[in-house]
Chains A and B, each alone.
Chain A
């Protein structure tokens, strides 16, 4: 279960406080940097890793890769989203653990699509669009330096960005071409997203919740039914939360054998129409993941080792991955940043599913106290 390993790793290996370093949000940070900072923040929040944000004027220069943001965890300094994801995975925290290899590959592909299109478009708008450069980028980038260092730094950075975009054949594009690329990128993203909550996982909308709640009750009833039969000498305690909350997760007091439900049932099927509340309990352990009922039977109630875990039922689950964090970072930044050139924001705003994804992540992970 991803939650379990996650909770463990927070306690064991990531207990040193994580600090995220980024430029000053109010007066300094630029659109592309803000997008990547927000993406990393979203990733950490989705992972439920506590972190502190520290703003430094020289965050860019402190970073080992020269790009923001970077996190400091004990003696480790890791910069940018993908290395951070890798770092968290090494520590046992992963958001894509339940994805199949193909899905993972797909996710990588979409992530690199964003890096190749949205990031370049942001750089283009910030540094090569004269209006935005003069009104916003120049002012903000040089705000932390004394004159004439600010001018020198801005010029040097603009040259570096131009060089990068030239190498990627973006330098000579017109704004319309850039917007067309963005449009294409956004439509393939929103196509992939469809009407789901998040990129990977089953389709789930608010109106499915009631159905899921009923389904859950049925499962519990069934479990009780099975458990009460004499031949099954084990007992399961499931305390569903009062309501099916937005994220359709339930805090249950249970033991490890719910794993067996996850692993052995057919409920992972994507098509809700064939979902069945039928839970096949095998009282004889026939696979590694299945716990022998005889062991459980004796002290299932009084066992203090039972852990309170947030069980997300895979049937109802659609959990965000790092791709969602990345899309959120970029889309949210683009649509909320006021630039003289509104065209980029408008192009992204047209894709309502992406916008609502950004809103969802914002409300769920950033607005909660």
Chain B
């Protein structure tokens, strides 16, 4: 009888999130199962005993309910499959670092003739994991200090705290407490987050200081469908960036309180999030603000993407997005919708589409945008291997429009037809599985006088591109 030893990636010990940490998640699906040399499904087997070695503070009840499945196995192949599933379940609890699986015939007085013993060897994560890293965002460099308490109460709960200081003395922090319920129906995960965040928006001339509380309930209704129901209460302090900021932007400064209920549903049938070759993805986010607080609006955004392989190594991707903001009262500049930039409608400055006041984008309340890309491997190299496999070359056409709420002279449908178009080509680089980086040469084909087109080279990093 052989032993299945699944190697595991050491990914859970690291701390911190953010854009610049792109660790590869464990690729369990791609792990080759050992080729059976003998026919296993005929071999009758039952699991007599399951050992889990290395448990220290993890509670027995969640381990028991996780491994219970193994006792249902009837033949040897079934045992291997179920052991593999249990290993994945243990891994996803985020409590263990190394998980080894050993299967042996059972011995001892209570052993049955076909009995097997399955042993999981685990190593628990240490109680406190810390880390320091640096990040560079568009306007400043940050030093990020992170502390994580994995498996804090023995049932997969974790607390993660992150504190970052920017060189311009802005400080952000977040403390998140997560509690998974792996054995409840739909396996919900509840997260509470307290945060303070600084954001600067030089394209619109303002900066935000957000202090808030986020309560998130995530669950999956199918393998591809993920729901997230959130409540967020925040105090948002808007202030102008400089003395030359336009008065239109200045008018929206001051503290505001906002209470938002949000529902995000995403259905992902793609084979890969960053450079997919097939499948489609839909994300629909609806937001209702105004249950308390001084801002009330209804905001809906939709993102879709479809991919198809048209030749070997050549993928055609069509993507689209749309958003509507219906203001009831109190919505100010930061609530508005914006369009343009290297990650959305390329060939325009960041937020460069739509109304501007003294060169600063003031946003709209309705937009749509669409793009068609053709992705291919880098020319002249063997794209399948090495570092070249992280790159793609692409050519694209993007189009979109942002309707201006202030502009009462044109009817909104008319203003939605004032489409802006840009074309271009460039190189895209995959950064882990979380983000990609693009360097494009863009040509804005159609723009309006109020826009800020940016022809030429454009560089962008984002998790989500149009």
Contacts and interface: CB of A to CB of B under 8 A. Distances in A.
Say whether A and B bind each other.
yes
Main secondary structure of the interface of B (DSSP, over half): strand
A61 B253 contact: yes
B235 A149 contact: yes
A62 B251 contact: yes
Interface in A46-68: 56-58, 60-62, 64
B239 interface: yes
Q: Indicate the size class of the contact surface on chain A.
A: 10 to 19
A134 B290 CA distance: 29
Given A146-B293, A149-B294, A61 B255 contact: yes
Contacts of B293: 146, 149
Given A64-B243, A72-B247, A149 B254 contact: no
B179 interface: no
Nearest to B236: A149
Interface residues of B, number: 15
Contact of B255 (A72, A147, A153): A153
Contacts of B247: 72, 75, 77
B292 interface: yes
Contacts of B294: 145-146, 149
A139 B256 CA distance: 18
B257 interface: yes
A61 B257 contact: no
Contacts of B253: 58, 61-62
A72 B282 CA distance: 47
Contacts of A145: 255, 257, 294
A304 to B, nearest CB: 41
Given A72-B247, A146-B292, A146-B294, A61 B235 contact: no
Given A62-B250, A77-B250, A149 B243 contact: no
Interface in B358-383: none
A77 to B, nearest CB: 7
Contacts of B243: 64, 77
Nearest to A150: B257
Nearest to A153: B255
Contacts of B255: 61, 145, 149, 153
B257 A146 contact: yes
Nearest to B294: A146
B73 to A, nearest CB: 56
A48 B343 CA distance: 53
A152 interface: yes
A149 B247 CA distance: 25
Nearest to A59: B254
A312 to B, nearest CB: 36
Interface in B242-270: 243, 247, 250-251, 253-257
A72 B238 CA distance: 20
Interface string A87-131: 000000000000000000000000000000000000000000000
B161 to A, nearest CB: 22
B235 to A, nearest CB: 6
A62 B254 contact: yes
Interface in B287-301: 292-294
Interface string A72-91: 10010100000000000000
B254 A152 contact: no
A144 B182 CA distance: 45
Interface string A139-166: 0000001111100110000000000000
Contacts of A72: 247
Given A64-B243, A145-B257, A146-B293, A152 B251 contact: no
B170 to A, nearest CB: 18
A58 B254 contact: yes
Nearest to B259: A146
A267 B250 CA distance: 51
A153 to B, nearest CB: 6
A187 to B, nearest CB: 40
Interface string B160-197: 00000000000000000000000000000000000000
A148 B212 CA distance: 13
Contacts of A77: 243, 247, 250
A64 B243 CA distance: 7
Contact of A152 (B235, B250, B292): B235
A57 B239 CA distance: 14
Interface in A292-341: none
B305 to A, nearest CB: 39
The residue in A58, A72, A147, A152 that gathers the most chain B C-beta atoms within 10 A of its C-beta is A58
B1 to A, nearest CB: 65
A323 to B, nearest CB: 28
Q: Which of A61, A145, A148 has the most CB of B within 10 A?
A: A61
A236 to B, nearest CB: 49
B252 to A, nearest CB: 8
Nearest to B257: A149
A145 B254 CA distance: 11
Contacts of B254: 57-58, 60-62
Contacts of A153: 255
A145 B257 CA distance: 8
Nearest 6 pairs between A and B by C-beta?
A58-B254, A61-B254, A149-B257, A61-B253, A146-B294, A62-B250
14 contacts: A56-B251, A58-B251, A58-B253, A61-B253, A62-B253, A64-B243, A77-B243, A145-B255, A145-B257, A145-B294, A146-B294, A147-B292, A149-B235, A149-B257
Interface of A: 56-58, 60-62, 64, 72, 75, 77, 145-149, 152-153
Given A60-B254, A77-B243, A77-B247, 4 more contacts: A61-B253, A75-B247, A148-B257, A149-B256
